[in-house]
Structure 1
Amino acid sequence: MRIRKGGPGDAPVMLAMLDGAVAWLAANGRTGQWGSEPWSGDPRRVERITGMARDDEIWVAEVDGRAAGVMAVAPGPPHYVDPIDEPELYITLLVTDRAFAGHGVGGSLIAKARDEARAKGAGLLRVDCYGGADGRLVEYYRRNGFETVAAFTVGDWPGRLLSQRVGG
C-alpha cells in the first residue's frame, strides 16, 4: 500500500467511494448513516466533496496503483463541532473502497493522520462519525485508538465525536 498526497482532482474518486459505501450500507439495511441515494447524484453533496478536495488536505491510499481509500484532514472541525483551544488535526472524511474493506486501508490512513498531526505540532487528532444503529462505526474508531468525547446530533442524524492524543 502506498499513501499519496491528493487534491481537487481526487473528488471523483472520493464520490465513487462514497457511492459504493452508500450502496453497500443500503444493501445491508443500514441507511441511517448516509441514506440510500448515491452522493454523486446530490448536487449539495457533490459540492461538499468538491470543496473538501479543494480546501482540506487529501490523502489517497493506493494498492497496486488503484485507489483503495481516501482521507481528508483539516486544522479544525466542521461547523457542527465546537472548536478547541489547542492545535489539532481533524479527519473530515475517511472512506474505503468496498473492494478493500478489511485490508487495513482505513487504519493505515488513520496512522497517516497521526503522523501528519505530529508533523504539524498538533497534539490532538479528532474525528466524528455516525453514532446510530449498532455503533459499529464508533467501535471501529475505538479500535483505532480513539475515545468517545461526546454525542451530538445534526438534525436527526446521531453523531459521535472522538479524539486521541498524538505524542510528539
Structure 2
Amino acid sequence: MCTYTKDGLGRFRTAQPATGSARTLAELDVADPDESDVDFILYAFDSALPYLASIGSEAQWGTELFSQKPERRKQFTEFVQKSYDLNARQEADSNDDCPWQLMTLFEVRTEDDKWVRVAAQGLSTRFPDYVPESLASKDLRQAGDFLYLNYLIADRRKGDLAKGSAPHLISFAEQQCRKRHKTPFYGDCWRGNNDGLLKYYQKLGFNPIGPFDVKDKHGPGLPWFGYLFSKSISQ
C-alpha cells in the first residue's frame, strides 16, 4: 500500500479510514498521526481557500471551509473507505474491469524518519455526474477503459514541503493507468482566472476537450465553469 520514489525521500500511500485499517498511522511513521487521512484531505482543501480568495478565485471552490461541510466529510469518508477496501485486497486484479478508485497521499520523509503528508489525489474509473454527455457520451462512460482525476490537492499548511507534489502524483497516476491498461486519462478544472489551471495541466501534458458549466456546484447561487481535459497514456 506504499510505493516509494527512487530517491526514497517520498512515498505514495493509499489513504486509510479512521478505523479498520491493517496498521495505524503511528505504525506507518506518519507525522501528526492523530489527524486522520480524511481530516488531512479536508484541511488541505481548507488551506487553499485563503490563497484562492487573495487572487480573486473564490469561485473555484467557494469560500466555506470543506471541513465544515457535512456533505464534503461524507464524500471523502466514503471515497477513502471504498478506495482502501478495494486496494487492500491482495487478490485484486489490476486488469479487473469492475469499478475502481484510489485515494493516494503523497508524503515526504523528514530527518527523523517521519512521513509528512503534503498532497492527495483521487482516481477512479468513472466520470463525475457534473460532466455533460456532450463531452463524455454514455458509451464512453460505460466503456470504462479510462481513469479520471477526481481530486488533486496540495496542503498549503506544509509550505515548501508541498511544492512539486502535483507532478509526482500525476506521474503516479499515469503508472496506475498503465498498470490497469487504461489508455485515456481524463480530468477537469476550473476555467476562471485567465485559464490558469488549464494552462498548468497543459504543462503536465493534458489537452483541453471542451468547456462546460455546472449550476450551484459549490452551493446555491455559486455557478462553476470548467474544462474537461485528457491525455493519452502510452502502454
In 2, Cα distance between the equivalents of 1:101 and 1:27? Answer: 21
Counterparts of 1:13-162 in structure 2, within 5 Å, are 13-55=40-82, 56-64=101-109, 65-81=115-131, 82=136, 84=140, 85=143, 87-98=145-156, 99-100=159-160, 103-155=163-215, 156-162=223-229
Gaps of 5+ in 2: 1-9, 19-36, 83-100, 110-114, 216-222
Two-structure CA RMSD over aligned residues (Å): 1.7
34-43 or 23-32, which moves further after superposition? 23-32
* More strand as a share of residues: 1
SS in 2 for 1:134: helix
SS in 1 for 2:107: strand
Contact 1:152-1:159 at 8 Å conserved across structures: yes
1:105-136 Cα offsets, whole Å, 9 max, x none, are: 00000000000011001001111111122211
Contact 2:186-2:229 at 8 Å conserved across structures: yes
- TM-score of the two chains, using structure 1 as the length reference: 0.92
3-12 or 40-49, which moves further after superposition? 3-12
Kindly state the Cα deviation for residue 37 of structure 1 after the two structures are TM-superposed.
Answer: 1.6
Structure 1 segments, 4+ long, off by >4 Å, are none
Q: Percent identity?
A: 28
Equivalent of 2:16 in 7, 25, 33? 7
Q: Which letter maps to 2:128?
A: P
In 1, Cα distance between the equivalents of 2:75 and 2:13? Answer: 22
In 2, Cα distance between the equivalents of 1:49 and 1:153? Answer: 23
Number of aligned positions between the proteins: 168
Kindly state the Cα deviation for residue 54 of structure 1 after the two structures are TM-superposed.
Answer: 2.4
Q: Which letter maps to 2:210?
A: A
